Amino acid sequence: MTVYGETLGTSYQVLQTPLNQEDYYFQPEYRPQTPVDIVNQRMMIILAVVLGMVVTAVITITIPRLLNQEQSTVIETTNPGETVGEDGETAVSAPAAAMTKGGISPIFSPQVQHWAPQIVAWAAQYGLDPDIAATIMQIESCGDPQAVSGAGAQGLFQVMPFHFTAGETMLDPDTNAARGLAYYAERLVQTGGDVFQAFAGYNGGHVAAAGNWNTWANETQRYYTWSKGIYEDAKSGAATSTTLQQWMQAGGASLCQQASNRLNLN
Whether 265 and 111 have beta carbons less than 8 Å apart is answered as: yes
Report the percentage of the chain scoring pLDDT > 90.
61
Mean pLDDT of the chain, nearest integer? 78
Is the predicted pLDDT of residue 186 greater than 60, yes or no? yes
Q: What is the pLDDT of residue 79?
A: 34
pLDDT at 40 (0 to 100): 67
Q: 72, 224 in Cβ contact below 8 A?
A: no
The CATH code belonging to domain 90-263 is: 1.10.530.10
* Predicted confidence band of residue 58 (pLDDT cuts 50, 70, 90): low
Note whether 92 and 235 are within 8 A (CB): yes
The SS3 assignment for 84 reads strand
Q: Is the pTM of this model over 0.85?
A: no
Q: Which of 58-62, 89-93, 191-195 has the highest mean pLDDT?
A: 191-195
- Domain spans of the chain, in order of start: 2-77, 90-263
Where b means 16+ CB within 10 Å and e means fewer, 79-93 reads eebbbeeeeeeebbb
- Comparing 89 with 160, which gets the higher pLDDT? 160
Please work out, in degrees rounded to the nearest 5, the angle formed at the alpha carbon of residue 114 by the alpha carbons of 136 and 104.
55
**Helix (H), strand (E), coil (C) string for 188-199:** HHHCCCCHHHHH
pLDDT digits (tens, 9 = 90+) for 9-28: 434 333 333 333 344 333 33
Q: Which of 130, 90, 92 is nearest to 108 (CA)?
A: 130
What is the mean predicted confidence (pLDDT) over 27-54?
Answer: 62
**Residue ranges of E strands in 85-173:** 90-92
Strand, helix or coil for residue 90? strand
| Burial grade of 194 (CB within 10 A; 0-12, 13-18, 19 or more) | buried
d(CA 175, CA 168): 7
| Percent of the chain residues past pLDDT 70, beyond the cut | 66
